[in-house]
Structure 1
Amino acid sequence: MTPKKAYHPVSVVHTINALALWAAALLVCPLSLGAQGWEKAFGGNKEDQGLAIIQTIDRGYLVVGFSESFPNGADQDIDIYLIKTDVDGDVAWETTFDEGLTEYGNAALQTADGGFLIAGEASFQTVQGPFQAYLLKVSDRGKYQWSYTYSDVPGSSIRIKDVTTSPDGGYLAVGFIEYEDANDDIFLLKVDEAGQEQWRKAFGIPGDDMAVAVDVLGDGYVITGNEDNPDGIFDRDMIVYRLDGNGNVVWDERVSTDQREVGNDILVTPEGNIFIVGAVSDNSDAALWKFGPNGNPMLFRAKDMFGFGDEANAIIGLEDGSLVIAGFTEVNAFNVDFLLIKYRQEGNEIIEEWATHTGDVETTDFATSIAATSDGGYVLTGYNALRLNFFNDVVLTRTDGLGNIYTNYIRGKVFYDQDEGCDLDNGEQPFPSWLVRAKGANQTYFGATDQNGNYLIRVDTGAYVVEAIPANAYWESCFPDGVPINLTSFYDTTLVNFPVKDMNIACPYLEVDISTPFLAPCTDINYTVEYENTGTVPASGAYVEVELDDELAFLGSSIAATSLGNNTYRFDIGTIGFNAGGSFTINTQMACTGIADGQAGLVSAHIFPDTLCTEPDPNWDGASVDVDGACVNDSIRFVIRNTGQQNMAQKRDFFIVEDDVVFITRDFQLDVNEDTLIAFRPPANPSVSTYRLIAE
């Protein structure tokens, strides 16, 4: 029987390594060594908000909300905004949907096929409505699959706020319906798995009422929201309804005083108890209510953090029965932060374990949704904005199990110091993709510069030596020994710029990388080839040679290719400017048969000219190293290879970085053409993490 091959994506980097100070490989694998906190913002120069978050089956996250910054249609208005990230918060894909005039995504769930159902509302007439209920189904990669709108009598608006999977299959969406000449009512919409309506219901008191959250209880549901105070007091009351599988009311309860009470989210425990979070009092304290399965009130808790406003917007339950609440708290008159509270259950009592707030002192931070991470932390979404800025950004924040994130930053710019004055002058060119290292006594952090040469590293408190790592031996930092700093308090940001001088060597230095996100038999495989010149002058007559695996058939490319035989192709690039680069794509097809289990699909790229412009350092031992890596089942495998002319004369160090933190440091020493395998399987909860190996 002919053996079959199983292919794993492998990115192979070929560089001029004789003078390289560092070589690196980066992997994204389904493994983790524990939570690291971070906060990331998405959006543009208009209004963008995150309204719901879920952890996906691949241990990444899906953020759902709306954006005004990336208009997708002719109306140039608010659209549904989806952001899919890996576990590190790095974007896997993001997209907007614009089928009407204005669209909001308010809730989401992952479907059995790995895709996502988005629930919200859409207007086709004006920005203010009227709105129709809107359900959108997308694939696991954010591709449109189907959508439906659901309307009522002319002039009415249906606003969907939450959705859940139904016990009998399909989905239940909840919200409220606004009438032109009557009070608002709670609205229920039941659809099958394909979005076809099965039934709908609208009900409520004589005043306005709405549902904002739903969960499953037995073969039915419970919903929460708020309604007008029946005594005519200008405030809202919290409501909870128990519904059977057909949406009929089994029982209902409400909390009504002469002040404000609202329910914002609901959770049903495995025992059938019901927890609701929201806010109480006109001063607004975060609130938690507990009801029994039959609607009997069991307890109430309120939280006032700083004497200003507080509100709980979301609740989750943990496997040990604990509860975690997210919302916002007004720290002072100028600062609003995310609010996180954890409770543990002891019999019929709940005990507060901790309450914390987090966010940037320069922004107002509101958490709208929370999910538990697989490694014991939490991930939040919401929105924030700088003070006096009327536009928000979507925010995605991950904390540890105590609600902490790192709040200290080291930031700066790496740039070409042409006048060698060791300071930043107007017009001096930035260096993108340079590594910056902050080395502390207990932890080391890495960051990389963006296209403008800027870097930002989030770190814990402590003392560090910060250094820019030269791209090659043609460059030297003005601070070759690094810059010492000491961060002693939270919310501390330190600026460290790195002027970089050339070594009076007029020479190009070319690097190339080839990669693909996935490999599968009998499919088209698209490779991306990226190249750059990190030397000091332009490179003329540059070209790349790519060798494909025997199981890959060349179909085409985005630039002209010349076949050299043996499944090797040449791609002429021309001149690559100093500190410049580019990319092109290659389209291939993988064979359908003859693929052996466990064998990797390999492609390689080499860029020319590859001639060095200087004599080797007299102390150079003739060795150079390349690094490569792969995710193999539940293990990580890195390979360091000596591709130089001689054996390594002494040991060198390598670092493995996870979540920007070094967790493995070892030495290595290789003979010519020898390689070493670094393989490990972290004994931790599965997750998706980014791993980087950096070798001297």
Structure 2
Amino acid sequence: MNGEFIAIGSSGYQQIMVNNLPYGIDTLSFVKLDAEGNVLWVQNRTDSFLAYSNWVTGQTEINPTSDGGFIVTGTKFSILNSVVHNKAYLIKLNTVGGVTWEQELNLATAESHAFSVKETFDGGYVVSGRAGDNSVLVKINSSGTIQWTSTLFVGQFSSTTQEHWNPSDVIQDSDGNYLVTGGFRGATYGLRLYKVNSQGVILCSQEVVNGNYTGYTGKKVKETSDGGYVIVGNVTDFTIAHWMFVCKVDSAGRAVTTAIEGNVYADLNNNCAWDTLEYPLHNWVVIAEGNHGQTYYANTDASGHYSIPAEFGIYAVTLSVPNPYWDTVCIGLGTAILDTIFEIDTIDFPVNAAISCPLLQVDISSAALERCFTSTYYVEYCNWGMADASNAYVEVELDPFLTYDTSSIVGVHLGGNLYQFALGTVERGTCDEFWIDVMVTCDTNLTGITHCTEAHIYPDSLCLSPWTGPNINVEGICLGDTVLFKVMNSGGNMLSSLNYNIFEDNVMMMIGGYNLGSGQIEDVYVPAQSGKTYRMEARQVPNFPSLLGDTIIGLALEGCRLNSNGTINTGFVTQFSNYDGNPFVDVDCQPNVGSYDPNDKLAYPVGYGAEHYIYQHTDLEYYIRFQNTGTAPARTVVIIDTIAQYLDIASLRVGASSHNYSYEIYGNGIVKFTFDNILLPDSTTNYRASQGFIKYKIEQKPNNPIGTIINNNADIYFDYNAAVRTNTTFHKIGADFVTIQLVGIKNVMQPNVIVNVYPNPFHEVATIKIEGTEFTKIEFELYDLTGRVVYQKTTNETSFNIHKSDLIQGVYVYRIVADGKLLNTGKLIAR
């Protein structure tokens, strides 16, 4: 407590007999000491508190409160007409030990006891104790008024039966729930943990350990960084032996004694056994799915070993293979049966090389781009293939408003803002990193603009069967009052047309189509308004290889024309995905900042609008930034991130970071990053060096329901200090969230032709009717808002129907091409 100590103790113990029963009585003292043990103040009380009786051990507890004072609880003792009255009692002290208020807890019973008290997040308090023979949890407000009481255990106390449970400790965890542990007196002697929500509803009552002729008493419970808890206490054999115990449990209070473990390694000779020259595979993810619906994860360590603690059950155990260069032909699916205490089932995964070839990956990022200051990009590169990559290099194209300063390896200037960095040989299964210092623009009119920097690693060829289909790319150029987008095909001929969407800020303003032969380019000119951001999204063909990139290509141009005051609209680039799924290329887009709060979490894309909408297929990139704001260097930084249930932790790919780290995946979706021996200086000593970050990318699980909210935060630990919790990022899964205002094109592209689409919106059937001329071939295409073709029809009829049964409810964009020429585009809504 800021280097000071508070103690509670007895200042006048005595034993008395009442009706031939013994009672131990204390008068209490409170003492505050400084860091050297000097007494700052002492407060003595003259009233009596229970130390013990023939059937309960009295307990007092003192804890600091957020106002600088203290809260005390215990059982107040009194005798009236030879009858003992034990009452749960609370005392609120101020900063110097003076009484702010004190009162008896009115639990509507003749006997009540209080054992533990803690301040709660809302400024009130929670007390564990007894009301008669029943164990209770009591929530009170800041002035001591009871808000609710929850009965945890109904005890029995008579001349023949004595069974009750003393709840000796209560805490509030990071989710706002209350955890209570204690000890039984009577016939049951197991260790128990209760979990109660903020309204007093019992979420679970877990027997952690069965007594089996021994007695367990939980004395203290604490939350652990993985979302579980640790209980400490004592155990006895009811003779003369007593021991202390420490018990680790999961979030449901279960102590796991069984596990699945094994090794993952490269099986070079394909004999499904680990031979001398074969090597372990690091950070591969193993998944165990139990027959009771539980799923657990673990990644392999540097020796290729994994371990998954799991309770009794039958588990299907699989290995997540990160790319098609590898194959698990030896063991595609393992089965683990855990039915005996302390059992460990072993499943190894020999991994064969489907293709013996290097596969490079690059990632680039910065903790922040601070305007007018030097900022640092970190470039991480890895070889996830089965062969070394010779003569490797990375080309980095900096954003136009960034200026190269220096780098940890020599950068060769190739012209413009393009630099090349030689890596030499990148060995299989290894990763490394270098950094680049850049100066960020000082133009105050460009505050908050987005800087996009691209890294491309070579060699970038694939060893799979060569792709002979189309490969679509997009480029953009600002031409004063016009934006030029170029749709280019560097692959084979397209067999059918695809479409592009163009956005102004975050409004879809134009759609169009392209059908390009090999090497062909389609130019699209868009009038540019002052201050606006323009974005094009185009699609690859449906069977485009995932190793070559995403099925959508996106490019944004921010501020081609300045507003009259020299500024531009900002914040629209990062609402959408970069679509940089190609492992050889990574694009980092982030706005410049004047200053920023340390120890936070960022997510890209930010998402569309205030609801942060994303599509079901959108991958997420998370940045966790940290800074040592203490007064001494931090030797170790640990980040605990519990991944949302809607994200696939097996797809996690850790990217660039400011410092060396290791990471561990465990439980049902937790990742732990550890920066050992980081020696992070405090911010007053070296502001820039006191900061750090880690970045990772993760996919959604398939078919997340529309409306799903994905929240994410992280806890940051500096040495042995309490966790610093970041802000919570959020995204909402949507489908029809983009605003559509089609402009810049005529409604009908040919004179004397009328196109009617009715009814619109429609529930069952919509009719498309073309009047004014006849056509030999009419092509109708319907797209969802991601640009995916969901319906096609080719006809020579000028009137035809669209049925709701062919679609799902939503907003669509249609395109009509008549005899090879664009005739009409518009919006169609299916209810």
The structure with more radius of gyration = 2
Q: Taking CA–CA contacts closer than 8 Å with sequence separation of 6 or more, which of the two structures ends up with the larger relative contact order? A: 1
